């Protein structure tokens, strides 16, 4: 991906880059407790910012045995927070590109 380029899916969702994935996995592999704290913060944002998505996830999880719910929610929150992280990275990259171009 070139500087300032933001890849999207055919439906307009941000595509997670290898760089973002390496950053996330590298940071949290070193400190698993930090991963849990990160997911808790993401979950709190999801509850506030995406209440309809939470309802959908609860309905889907309800189809599985209760003892699997934590695993399912961890996967969902990890996916959501990774997409958030990529969107944030794209936003920072985009504003950096604009700033760099305007100085030339």
On the question of pLDDT at 77 being above 80, the answer is: yes
Whether the predicted pLDDT of 62 surpasses 60: yes
Q: At what angle do helices 51-61 and 32-49 cross, to 10 degrees?
A: 110
Residues 28-52: pLDDT tens digits?
A: 888 888 888 989 999 999 999 999 9
Angle CA(83)–CA(87)–CA(89) in degrees, nearest 5? 115
Q: How confident is the model at residue 104 (pLDDT cuts 50, 70, 90)?
A: low
pTM of the model: 0.77
pLDDT of 75 higher than 90: yes
Residue 8 φ then ψ, to 5°: -130, 155
pLDDT of res. 1: 46
Distance CA 5, CA 3 (A): 6
């Amino acid at each position: 991906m070139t500087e300032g380029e933001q890849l999207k899916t055919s439906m307009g969702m941000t595509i997670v880059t290898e760089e973002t994935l390496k950053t996330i996995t590298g940071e949290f592999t070193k400190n698993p407790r930090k991963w849990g704290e990160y997911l808790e913060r993401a979950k709190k944002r999801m509850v506030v910012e995406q209440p309809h998505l939470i309802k959908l996830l609860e309905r889907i999880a309800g189809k599985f045995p209760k003892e699997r719910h934590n695993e399912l929610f961890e996967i969902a929150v990890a996916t959501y927070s990774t997409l958030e992280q990529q969107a944030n990275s794209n936003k920072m990259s985009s504003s950096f590109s604009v700033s760099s171009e305007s100085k030339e």
